[in-house]
Amino acid sequence: MSINRRSPLPLYRQLAEIIQGKIENREYPLGAKIPSEPALVKTYGVGRPTIRQALDLLVREGVVEKKKGAGTYVREKAPEIDLFSSAGTSSAFREKGVALARHEIKPVSLTRVPDGRDNPFAGREAYFFSRLNLCGAEPILLEETYLDPGVFPGLERYDFTSESLSRVVRTRYYAEPVSFRQAFRVAYDRTRAELLGLPASGPVLEVARTINFPDCPAGIYSLLYCRTDRFTFSQTLSGGRQT
């Protein structure tokens, strides 16, 4: 496949499609190095700015990754993590052979939640804690969690850098969820992006998770901020009605 200069499609997009086609056909297998900029210039007869635009597009789409001082490589397939595992976030990673470490951003405390449109605890008190999940030294998932103090009294005695929230809810409070809801959006938040080691002005996947309990709708509300360049986050749906 070659560049078509009569096509209305920009040259860099054509080149990106050519490279992606070679990846899909295993001409460039997973982990393989993409030819250098001079080699691509010689092969396709386009300038270096076009080469860089094409590679930058593929980086943003998660197809390739740039390694400083080494070149551009076909990105290995990211492990897929079930973001709504009933056993909890840590278990979902552990099932894929990924060990997590946790760094406490804010310990559990009773706090008044500011007025707001989306948070079900807005305008009243809730327990709140936040933690950063790391794979090795690399931050991959930021969790900010609110819990109903009427359902979970005395929660401040637990350290959620070592404790599993789902296990504490199940074994210490004997609480079983009856329904769940997750909402996804792209957020632009400088502070959270920097905590995740992402560009401050870049997008972050935000997942708003609501967990409902008997006699207590929205007993737990969490905001998850995810490194989608490192892992693929999924949600498995079973047959029947979903919320």
Query: pLDDT tens, 200-225?
Result: 888 888 989 999 999 899 999 999 99
Give the CATH number, domain containing residue 220. 3.40.1410.10
Let me know whether 26 and 113 are in one domain: no
Please give the average per-residue pLDDT across 23-38, as a whole number. Answer: 91
Let me know whether 179 and 109 are in one domain: yes
Let me know whether 179 and 203 are in one domain: yes
Residue 242: what pLDDT? 36
Give the CATH number, domain containing residue 41. 1.10.10.10
- If one counts the domains in the chain, the total is 2
Q: Which residues of 74-105 are buried (b: 16+ CB within 10 A; e: fewer)?
A: bbeeeeebbbbbeebbbebbeeeebeeebeee
Question: Mean pLDDT, the chain, as a whole number?
Answer: 86
Continuous segment of H or E residues that includes residue 73: strand 71-74
pLDDT band for 238, please (50, 70, 90 cuts). Answer: very low
Per-residue pLDDT of 4-20, as tens digits, reads 888 888 999 999 999 99
Residue 158: what pLDDT? 93
pLDDT band for 41, please (50, 70, 90 cuts). Answer: very high
Q: Provide the CA 234 distance to its chain's centre, in angstroms.
A: 9
Structure token digits, residue 63: 């197809």
Separation CA 180–CA 223 (nearest Å): 14
Let me know whether 97 and 69 are in one domain: no
* Residue range of the domain that includes 64: 11-74
Task: Name the pTM for this structure.
Answer: 0.65
Residue 240: what pLDDT? 38
**Lowest-confidence segment of 16-25, 95-104, 106-115 by average pLDDT:** 95-104
Please give the average per-residue pLDDT across 132-149, as a whole number. Answer: 91
Return the residue matching tokens 């390694």: 67
Contact 23, 61 (CB under 8 A): no
C-alpha pair distances (Å), 127 with each of 62, 118, 157, 182: 37, 17, 12, 20
**Per-residue H/E/C for 98-145:** CCCEEEEEEEEEEEECCCCCCCCCCCCEEEEEEEEEEECCEEEEEEEE
Residue among 86, 96, 190, 103 at smallest CA distance from 141? 103
Residues 6+ positions from 170 with CB-CB distance below 8 Å: 176
Let me know whether 172 and 227 are in one domain: yes
pLDDT band for 38, please (50, 70, 90 cuts). Answer: very high
Continuous segment of H or E residues that includes residue 82: strand 80-82
Residue 241 has pLDDT above 50, yes or no: no
Residues 6+ positions from 99 with CB-CB distance below 8 Å: 93, 135
Boundary-marking domain end, from 36, 59, 74: 74
Give me the residues paired with residue 124 across strands.
Answer: none
